């Protein structure tokens, strides 16, 4: 079988890119950390093969992982794909930073720059929001330079609403959402779940799955 390699492109040194930083929520309480790590790596490999990146997602320290993208839409797409691959057993928080990044040690792959500083600040902000009752389901925020604050705030607002909806879904609705994002038809999903087409349609309507998919499609178009 031909090996499936992740998409990868090179951004010019100092060019503005999108840095994505992810961390498993509550990983220290996991009973089987080795299995959790293997599941995460498998999800990252699948997403890397599907979403173009400057530097594909990879585990860095513990249960933290990172990747670099040329487009904000690709970063949003990749982070949601990984999250849905692991839910409902495991959840992930994200910080997305827009700005330049640079490799400061080619041998170890250590990177630095405003993109990473903002991604780190964003994931810390995500964690702070999740500690509040009203925003406990927030899992993704975006930070950018001052001249792009309006964009970052608008995207974060959309992601906050999306995350609240996803965090409120049942296990079955999560499976249906994954299928819809993978372009499966409602008939195919009904057969896989052992339910009627009308039952799928009702969940898509009542749980807002169609809204999540439409919102994601719009966010994926962001440059």
Contact 123, 21 (CB under 8 A): yes
Q: Which is it for strands 92-100 and 140-143: parallel, antiparallel or unpaired?
A: parallel
Token couple for 24:
């498993």
Q: What is the CATH number of domain 16-144?
A: 3.30.70.1230
Q: Where are the domains of the chain?
A: 16-144
| Residue predicted with more confidence, 31 or 133 | 133
Helix (H) or strand (E) holding 157: helix 149-167
Q: How far apart are CA 204 and CA 96, in angstroms?
A: 28
Prediction pTM value: 0.92
What is 96-131 written as a DSSP string? EEEEE-EEEETTTTEEESHHHHHHHHHHHHHHHHHT
14 pLDDT band, cuts 50/70/90, is low
pLDDT digits (tens, 9 = 90+) for 65-120: 999 999 999 999 999 999 999 999 999 999 999 999 998 888 887 899 999 999 99
Contact 54, 70 (CB under 8 A): yes
């Amino acid at each position: 079988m031909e090996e499936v390699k992740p998409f990868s492109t090179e951004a010019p040194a100092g060019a503005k890119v999108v840095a994505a930083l992810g961390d498993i929520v509550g990983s220290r309480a996991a009973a089987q950390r080795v299995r959790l790590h293997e599941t995460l790596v498998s999800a990252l490999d699948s997403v890397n093969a599907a979403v173009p990146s400057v530097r594909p997602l990879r585990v860095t320290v513990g249960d933290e992982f990172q990747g670099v993208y040329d487009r904000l839409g690709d970063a949003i797409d990749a982070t949601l794909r990984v999250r849905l691959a692991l839910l409902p057993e495991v959840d992930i928080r994200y910080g997305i930073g827009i700005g330049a990044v640079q490799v400061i040690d080619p041998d170890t792959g250590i990177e630095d720059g405003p993109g990473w500083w903002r991604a780190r600040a964003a994931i810390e902000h995500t964690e702070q929001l999740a500690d509040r009752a009203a925003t406990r389901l927030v899992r993704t925020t975006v930070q950018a330079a001052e001249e792009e604050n309006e964009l970052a705030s608008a995207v974060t607002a959309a992601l906050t609403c999306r995350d609240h909806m996803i965090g409120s879904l049942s296990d079955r609705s999560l499976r249906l959402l994954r299928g819809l994002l993978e372009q499966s038809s409602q008939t195919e999903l009904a057969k896989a779940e052992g339910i009627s087409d009308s039952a799928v349609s009702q969940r898509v309507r009542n749980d807002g799955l169609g809204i999540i998919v439409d919102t994601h499609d719009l966010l994926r178009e962001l440059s």
